[in-house]
Amino acid sequence: AQSVTQPDIHITVSEGASLELRCNYSYGATPYLFWYVQSPGQGLQLLLKYFSGDTLVQGIKGFEAEFKRSQSSFNLRKPSVHWSDAAEYFCAVGGLSGSARQLTFGSGTQLTVLP
């Protein structure tokens, strides 16, 4: 069975600082990996996804993530955080070509940004 672990429940960073959110997955084959962001009162928005190819994936809003097969990780990074990045971030793994009907989400990391 596929699973996702996000070890950090809550992270606080200062505006302008760099950010790394951790994600570890368990999946029997080559996974489809996603990062979503959820702002208060909003639905999930896809930040980026990895299916194959280059292990460093660029997404929207200046985010990137690196797939490391040897570590079963897909960490999300941003070089300089903005106050508007405060939200909850979810990592997800999927099979079946990344279909939304087979997504398994982690429990999320809440990001607080200090002025």
- Which residues touch 42 (CB under 8 Å, ≥6 apart)? none
Interaction of residue 97 with other proteins, rule CB under 8 A: yes
SS3 category, 62: helix
- Residues numbered 28 to 67 that lie near other proteins (CB under 8 A) are 36, 41-46, 49
- Shortest Cβ 69–other proteins spacing (Å): 21
- Shortest Cβ 14–other proteins spacing (Å): 25
How many residues belong to the site for other proteins (CB under 8 A)? 25
Q: Which two tokens stand for residue 82?
A: 């903005």
Q: Which of 99, 112, 114, 115 binds other proteins (CB under 8 A)?
A: 99
Interaction of residue 90 with other proteins, rule CB under 8 A: yes
Q: How far is CA 68 from CA 24, 81, 99, in A?
A: 10, 23, 22
Q: The tokens 């990391």 sit on which residue?
A: 109
DSSP state, residue 60: G
Give the footprint of other proteins on this chain (CB under 8 A): 4, 9, 36, 41-46, 49, 90, 92, 96-108
